[in-house]
Amino acid sequence: MCPLEAAVNTSFRRAVLDNGLTVLVQEVVSAPLVSVWCWYRVGSRDEVPGMTGASHWVEHMNFKGTERIPRDQMKGLIERLGGMWNGYTWIDQTAYLETAGRDALDHLLFVEAQRMASGLYDPTECEAERTVIISELQGGENDPDQVLDTEVTATAFRAHPYRHPTIGWLDDLQAMTRDDLYEHYRRFYIPNNAALVVVGDVEADDVLRRVERHFGAIPPGPPPRRVSCAEPRQLGERRVLVERPGTAAYLKVVYHAPAVTDADFFPLLVLDAVLTGAKGLSLWSSFRGALPQRRSRVYRELVERGLASSISGALLPTIDPFLYTLSLTPTDGVTLEVLESEAFAVLEKLRTDGVEAAEVQRAQRQLRARLVFESDSVTNIAHQLGYFETVAGPGFYRQLRDRIDRVTPDQVWDVARRRLASDYRTVGWFRPEAFAR
C-alpha cells in the first residue's frame, strides 16, 4: 500500500494557461468542500536592502480592496459564504487561500483573480497598514525565542537575502512608500509567476474552464528576475549573545542546510528525525500537535537527563540553501554553557560513530506516517501541492515518499559529518538579564 497515493485519491490535473498561469487540480470528494490556494514566486528573499518586508506588506495590502471588491467588503466576502481565508509570506513564496463549500468555487476564483491583477493600493490604506505591520513586528519582539531566531539567522548569512526576517527591518518599514509597494506588487503578481491550486469535491475539467474564465484575460508580464546569490562558504563558528530582560534562557544552534532539490536534503531530513523526531514536510500543518521525539537522540540525551526542558529541530524545504536549526531550552538551574557542550557531544558522537540502521528505519516510518497525516484535508493537500510546485518544481510532491525511502544510513552519517561541522555553525544564546554576570 502507498498511503500517500491513497490519500490524494482520484484524479489530478496540471495545466498551464496561455498567459503562463500554472493550474493544479485535485479531486478529493471526502467532504463537500473546496480549497483554493494562489501561490506567487515572491518572498523575502526577493527584497533588496531598504525594501525588506515589502513582500509581506504587499500581502497585507492584497486584502485591502480591488477594483471590483471594495475595501470594506474584501474581508467578509468569504465569511458570507461560510468560508475561511488566510495568507502567508515566507522567504521563498507568498500564498493566499480560501476554503469553503464547493458551491463557492466561482467566488473564490473571482477573489484570487482580482487579487492578482486589480489591487488598489490606496495611499491612505498603505499608511494605515504600516503601523499594523510595525505592531506585528513588535509583538514578535516580545518573544525571546523569536528575537534570538532573528539574530542567529542574520548572523549565519552574510550575503544571501535569507538573512533578513520576512517581516522586514523596522527602519525599512518606516521608510518604504506606497509606490515601492505597488511596484513590487506589479512586478511579481502576474499569471506567469503564479500557481493556482484547487482541491476538493470538484470536477477537474469544470475547474479548468472556470479558471480560464476568471484568469484567462489577465496579461502576462516580463518574468521577474529573482534576487539570488550563493552564500559564501562559512570558515569558522559564529556566535551571538542576546542579553535582555527575561525569565528563561534559550539556545539555538544552526548549520547551513541544503536546498530541497539538493541530494543532501532527504538524508538531512532523516538525520533530523533521528536527532529530534520526525516533523514532516508541511509548513502549514506539520508543526502542530505532538511529535514523536522521545526515542530521538537529542531528547534522550538532553531532556531525559534533565538538562533541557524542551528541544526541537527544523529543516524546511527551501529553494536555496537555508538553515538546519536546533532549539533548546535549558531546564531551570542548568547553564547555557553546560547545555551547549552536552548538545555538541550528542552531535559529535553521531558524527564519529554513525547511525544505526534501526534508527534510520524508525525515522523513515515516522516521516512516511507524517506524509499521510499532513494530507488529511482539502486545505492541507492543496497547501502541499502548491508549496512543492513553487519551491521544488512540477512533480516533486509525488516523489517525497520515494526520496525518503531511498535514504541509507551511510548517507545520513555522511551528511552529518560534512554538514554538522563546527566551522559551519552559528550558536545563539538568549541570556535573561537578571541572570547575566
Partner 1 sequence: MTTLARGLSPVREELENGVVLLAQQTSAAPAVTIHARILAGCLHEPARPGLAYLTAKLLDRGTALRPADRMAVELEDRGVALKVRASRHAISLTATCLAEDLPQIVTIVADVLRAPSFPAEQLHRRRGELITGLRQDDDNPFLRAGDALVRLLYGADHPYGRPLKGTVASLSRIERQELVDYHARRFRPSTVTLAIVGDVAPADAAALVEREFGSWQADAPDEAAMPGPPAPPTRQMAHLSMPGKAQADIAYGFTSVSRLDPRYYAYWMMNIILGEFGLGGRLAANIRERQGMAYYACSSLDAALGEGALIVRAGVDPRNVERALAAIDAEVGALGRWGPTTDELEETRQFLIGSVPRFFETNQGIAAFLQSAEYFGLGLDYDRRLPHLLEAVTRADVAAAAGEVLRPDAAAVVVAGPAEAAS
Q: Which residues, numbered 24-63, are part of the site for partner 1 (CB under 8 A)? A: 28-33
120 binds partner 1 (CB under 8 A): no
In 179-276, DSSP assigns E strands to 194-200, 238-244, 250-256
CB of 145 to partner 1, least distance (A): 9
223 binds partner 1 (CB under 8 A): no
* C-beta closer to partner 1: residue 44 or 375: 375
Closest CA to 133 of 64, 84, 187: 64
405 binds partner 1 (CB under 8 A): no
CB of 133 to partner 1, least distance (A): 7
In a 13 Å sphere around the CA of 188, the CA atoms on its Cβ side amount to 29
200: alpha, beta or left? (left if phi > 0; alpha if psi -120 to 50): left
CB of 142 to partner 1, least distance (A): 5
**Gap between the Cα atoms of 81 and 44, Å rounded:** 32
By CB neighbour count within 10 A (0-12 exposed, 13-18 middle, 19+ buried), where does 309 fall?
A: middle
Q: Which stretch binds partner 1 (CB under 8 A): 227-235, 371-379, 389-397, 407-415?
A: 371-379
CB of 366 to partner 1, least distance (A): 4
Phi, psi dihedral angles at 155 (to 5 degrees): -80, -35
* C-beta closer to partner 1: residue 277 or 321: 277
* C-beta closer to partner 1: residue 224 or 409: 409
By CB neighbour count within 10 A (0-12 exposed, 13-18 middle, 19+ buried), where does 136 fall?
A: middle
Q: Which stretch binds partner 1 (CB under 8 A): 51-59, 136-144, 184-192, 219-227?
A: 136-144
| Most distant CA pair in the chain, distance | 67
**136, 180, 183, 212: which one binds partner 1 (CB under 8 A):** 136
**Gap between the Cα atoms of 367 and 313, Å rounded:** 14
367 binds partner 1 (CB under 8 A): yes
**366, 390, 411, 426: which one binds partner 1 (CB under 8 A):** 366
**Gap between the Cα atoms of 319 and 306, Å rounded:** 37
Residues binding partner 1: what is the number (CB under 8 A)? Answer: 80
**Gap between the Cα atoms of 99 and 82, Å rounded:** 9
Binding residues for partner 1 restricted to 241-260, rule: CB under 8 A? 244-248
* C-beta closer to partner 1: residue 157 or 250: 250
**Gap between the Cα atoms of 363 and 193, Å rounded:** 36
**128, 175, 227, 263: which one binds partner 1 (CB under 8 A):** 128
Q: Which stretch binds partner 1 (CB under 8 A): 343-351, 368-376, 390-398, 413-421?
A: 368-376
Write the CB contacts of 125 (distance below 8 Å, at least 6 apart in sequence).
Answer: 61, 64, 65, 71
Binding residues for partner 1 restricted to 60-119, rule: CB under 8 A? 75-76, 79-84, 99-101
Binding residues for partner 1 restricted to 373-392, rule: CB under 8 A? 373, 375-380
**141, 237, 337, 402: which one binds partner 1 (CB under 8 A):** 141
279 binds partner 1 (CB under 8 A): no
Binding residues for partner 1 restricted to 168-197, rule: CB under 8 A? none
Q: Is 353 within 8 Å of 71 (Cβ atoms)? A: no
CB of 372 to partner 1, least distance (A): 5
Phi, psi dihedral angles at 410 (to 5 degrees): -65, -40
